[in-house]
Amino acid sequence: MSSSILDIKIRKFVPADRPAIRRISFKTSFLGSPEFFINHEEAVADALTLYFTDYEPESSFVAIQGEKVIGYLTGTKNAARMNAMVNSRIFPQLWRHAFGQGLIFQKKILTLLWYMGGSALKWEFSLPDVTDRYPALLHINIDESFRGRGVGRALMDYFLDYLKSERIPGVHCATLSDDAYRFFTSAGFYLLLKKPRTYLRYHFKKEMFYYLLGKTLR
Ligand SMILES: CC(C)(COP(=O)(O)OP(=O)(O)OC[C@H]1O[C@@H](n2cnc3c(N)ncnc32)[C@H](O)[C@@H]1OP(=O)(O)O)[C@@H](O)C(=O)NCCC(=O)NCCS
């Protein structure tokens, strides 16, 4: 994609994009309110992007204006393989850091874990395995000042073409955002599951939902 007004281009991720992706991932986490829940940018960025940037970089893409990264789509062709890697390598490393640096004992984190525990007891985190039919997975985030101008759609089209060229039969994604839910349905995704996430109420003061969406590619 190239726009004469915004001069925005989509291209494959390269390692030099890593800091910008990590920054945007932190700023857009927790529906744009990360500081309320956690103060540690590195830990959040690791949890959200490490697999994609370091283990499967070929499946991620960025939107740039000039040299500046203004949005990204991180993806995997095989979410089952990704989950195995995250559970065996990345999460243990993150927990070690969290304990080692004392993060886990900060008041904000303890509060978050307390409320998440309540959600876990209600089985809100238990999800069906959809990786058979929808093996690929994506996350997409656009810098706030560039939203609503077609950048997300351009990144999505680029990624879907990539998956089709790799003969991947389906892709899924998840979001807590009603706006992002509408963005995904406008890109042809359909709702697979909607579940409450009651732990978020202590900040957002309203019922929040987790949307799981899928799209077949042939
Ligand atoms: C959701 C997001 C990726 C969409 O990217 P974007 O560049 O703003 O969206 P686009 O301008 O490309 O819009 C593409 C389509 O989605 C629709 N859309 C985008 N944002 C929307 C919103 N807030 N409400 C309703 N529809 C929306 C547009 O109307 C457009 O539809 P059309 O092509 O039929 O006109 C971006 O707004 C974002 O990063 N939001 C914050 C983080 C987030 O929620 N990430 C995704 C979930 S993890």
Tell which one of 21, 156, 178, 183 to mutate to probe ligand 1, the residue whose CB is within 8 A of the most ligand atoms: 183
Assess whether pLDDT exceeds 70 at residue 2: no
| Phi/psi at 36 (5° precision) | -65, -35
Q: What is the pLDDT of residues 128-168, one digit of tens each?
A: 999 999 999 999 999 999 999 999 999 999 999 999 999 99
- 8-216: in CATH 3.40.630.30: yes
pLDDT tens, residue by residue, 50-75: 999 999 999 999 999 999 999 999 99
Predicted local confidence at residue 4, as pLDDT:
42
User: For the chain, what is the mean pLDDT?
Assistant: 94
Q: How large is the average pLDDT for residues 98-123?
A: 92
State the pLDDT confidence band at 38, using cuts at 50, 70 and 90: confident
pLDDT digits (tens, 9 = 90+) for 7-26: 899 999 999 999 999 999 99
In single-letter form, the type of residue at position 139 comes to: H
Ligand 1 atom closest to residue 28's alpha carbon, by position in its atom list: 42
Residues 6+ apart with CB under 8 A from 162: 59, 61, 75
Q: Has residue 188 got a pLDDT over 60?
A: yes
Residue 3 pLDDT exceeds 50: no
Q: Which atom of ligand 1 is nearest to the CA of 177?
A: 44
pLDDT tier at 180, thresholds 50, 70, 90: very high
Counting from 1 in the atom list of ligand 1, the atom nearest the Cα of 183 is 16
d(CA 53, CA 184): 23
Q: Which tokens in the block code for residue 169?
A: 């039969």
User: What lines the ligand 1 site, CB under 6 Å?
Assistant: 28, 139-142, 147-153, 175, 177, 179-180, 182-183, 186
How much is the pLDDT for 1?
52
The more confident residue out of 60 and 35 is 60
Amino acid present at 89: R
212 three-state secondary structure:
strand
Task: Please tell me the pTM assigned to this model.
Answer: 0.94
* Backbone CA torsion sign across 123, 75, 30, 40: positive
Judged against a pLDDT cut of 80, whether residue 6 lies above it is answered with: no
What secondary structure, in 3-state letters, does 58-86 show? Answer: HHCEEEEECCEEEEEEEEECCHHHHHHHH
